[in-house]
Amino acid sequence: MRGVSTLTQFGQKHVTKGLGRLTEAVVTKGEGSYVQLDDGRRMLDFTTGIGVTSLGHCHPKVSKAAADQCMNLVHGQCSIAFHEPYLRLIEKLLPIMPDPSLDSFFFWNSGSEAVEGAIKMARWYTGRQNIITMQGGYHGRTFGAMAVTRSKTIYSEGCHPLMPGVFPVAYPYWHQHGLPPNTSEDELSERSLYQLDLLLSQQVNPKDVAAILIEPVIGEGGYVPAPKSYLEGLRTVCDKHGILLIIDEVQSGFLRTGKYFAIEYSGVRPDIMIVAKGIANGFPLSGIISRKEITDKLSPGSMGGTYAGNAVACAAGVAVADAMKEDKIQENVAARSKELFDSLAELRKDAEIGSKILDVRGRGLMVAVEFASPTGTPHDPLVDPSAPQNLAKRVAKRCLEKNLFILTTSVYEVIRFIPPLNISKEDLAKGCKIFAEAVKEVVREG
């Protein structure tokens, strides 16, 4: 057991207890796929700061663009004037939009703020108040975003009543329907759309619904991609009733799933798309993107924010867009994704381990392993009394001891893989080896 530094002790005393942490160490440097800790350890980072540093820590082109911008204009307040990085970033993003109708941009700082803005826009445009959100969805911790977040009760514990007019509906994740992991996507899609029908006939009239909000790969709810047929079904419902479809790509965007945006796997057109995280590789930047016909209805002054679309963050975003192309990131994601899935398939073949892995899923480098669990909610039909306790948390802890940062997600026993999108073949293999060793050790301990 390593000693705790005086800086850590200072942090433990003065940083709010409301924050959880993977480690108590202090990060002193980030470089590519690694971070350095003040206790001397060099950690392979499969968390990318929760899906943010997709091009690795301190990508030279991105850091240089930000440093150069710092010497030119740091704060170009968006309600005072246009600034160049803001407009250049839009220029870079327009050609990669999942639908050409998405041509009107507003940049903010965090994903939560963008979610708030999207809700506000949907209410304003439709003149309706209610929002349908997904059971298991995560959209942030500010007040409106917290109200549409349904992945864990901790995010709103002690804060009720939440913003009214939010209706959660089952997501096409087998666990939510009490079905086994091998249930077909079509069945999950049909059951979930049926739940939506019931919601719209028993709880809220569709003419009172402003928007349906969904992550195309549910993140904090378990890293579950939404089937194409489900997203198509949502689009049909929205079109029929004049409801806006808001796609939250905060975690799944910017090549994380192998395409620029995960919604592209379905071909479905978002009315509003929310982006953040990978857009600027660590600089605080988010965006609400919609079509001009919608945003032209907004009154000037209704949107804004002191730091919204900061010039340094936008310059970093421009460099990210260039680096993604120049560094052939999409090709790397495809190759590394295959290797990751192959490695997890190999682990599943292990006689001792296989039965403890319920599911391996995801797209690109947004991948999850779900373990069996001996506990669950009182009526969870998928509880396996023979499974070891808390597998995911224990595996993440064991990985940490082996110098790999990796995160759990959801209320189930799920480990998520979010490595850098430009990770080398060798580093990916190294992380997979550590993970496999950790799983084997923890399962053997029982």
Ligand X SMILES: Cc1ncc(COP(=O)(O)O)c(C=O)c1O
Q: List residues binding ligand X (CB under 6 A).
A: 50, 110-112, 115, 138-140, 215, 219, 248, 250-251, 276
Helix (H, G, I), strand (E, B) or coil at 153: helix
Residue 51 CB, nearest approach to ligand X (Å): 7
Strand partners, 45: 405
Report how far apart, in Å, the C-alpha atoms of 132 and of each of 136, 211, 254, 306, 384 are.
Answer: 12, 6, 25, 30, 32
Residue 215 CB, nearest approach to ligand X (Å): 5
What is the spatial distance between Cα 361 and Cα 370, in angstroms, rounded to a whole number? 8
Look up residue 167 and give its two tokens. Answer: 């209706």
- Judged by beta carbon, residue 101 or residue 142, the one nearer ligand X is 142
- Sequence-distant (6+) residues with CB within 8 A of 439 are 347, 353, 356, 391, 395
- Judged by beta carbon, residue 248 or residue 413, the one nearer ligand X is 248
What is the spatial distance between Cα 27 and Cα 360, in angstroms, rounded to a whole number? 31
- Judged by beta carbon, residue 365 or residue 434, the one nearer ligand X is 365
3-state secondary structure 189-218: HHHHHHHHHHHHHHCCCHHHEEEEEECCEE
Which pairs with CB-CB distance under 8 Å and at least 24 residues apart come from 324-332?
Answer: 324/55, 324/254, 324/255, 326/61, 327/55, 327/422, 329/54, 329/55, 329/255, 329/421, 329/422, 330/255, 330/258, 330/259, 332/421, 332/422, 332/423
What is the spatial distance between Cα 97 and Cα 91, in angstroms, rounded to a whole number? 11
Look up residue 373 and give its two tokens. Answer: 């669990």
What is the spatial distance between Cα 230 and Cα 405, in angstroms, rounded to a whole number? 33
Residue 280 CB, nearest approach to ligand X (Å): 11
- Judged by beta carbon, residue 139 or residue 398, the one nearer ligand X is 139
Residue 384 CB, nearest approach to ligand X (Å): 28
- Judged by beta carbon, residue 44 or residue 250, the one nearer ligand X is 250
Residue 218 CB, nearest approach to ligand X (Å): 8
Residue 132 CB, nearest approach to ligand X (Å): 16
- Judged by beta carbon, residue 107 or residue 438, the one nearer ligand X is 107
Residue 386 CB, nearest approach to ligand X (Å): 33
Residue 152 CB, nearest approach to ligand X (Å): 12
Q: Cα torsion at 317, 321, 322, 328 (round to 10°)? A: 140
**416 — phi, psi (to 5°)?**
-115, 140
- Judged by beta carbon, residue 69 or residue 110, the one nearer ligand X is 110
Helix (H, G, I), strand (E, B) or coil at 369: strand
- Judged by beta carbon, residue 47 or residue 295, the one nearer ligand X is 47
CB atoms within 10 A of CB 240: 10
Residue number, nearest CB to ligand X? 111
What is the spatial distance between Cα 241 and Cα 237, in angstroms, rounded to a whole number? 6
- Judged by beta carbon, residue 220 or residue 427, the one nearer ligand X is 220
Q: For residue 347, give the nearest of 268, 432, 416 by alpha carbon.
A: 432
Residue 277 CB, nearest approach to ligand X (Å): 7
What is the spatial distance between Cα 153 and Cα 150, in angstroms, rounded to a whole number? 7
Residue 197 CB, nearest approach to ligand X (Å): 25
- Judged by beta carbon, residue 126 or residue 133, the one nearer ligand X is 133
What is the spatial distance between Cα 56 and Cα 421, in angstroms, rounded to a whole number? 8
- Judged by beta carbon, residue 119 or residue 357, the one nearer ligand X is 119
Residue 220 CB, nearest approach to ligand X (Å): 6
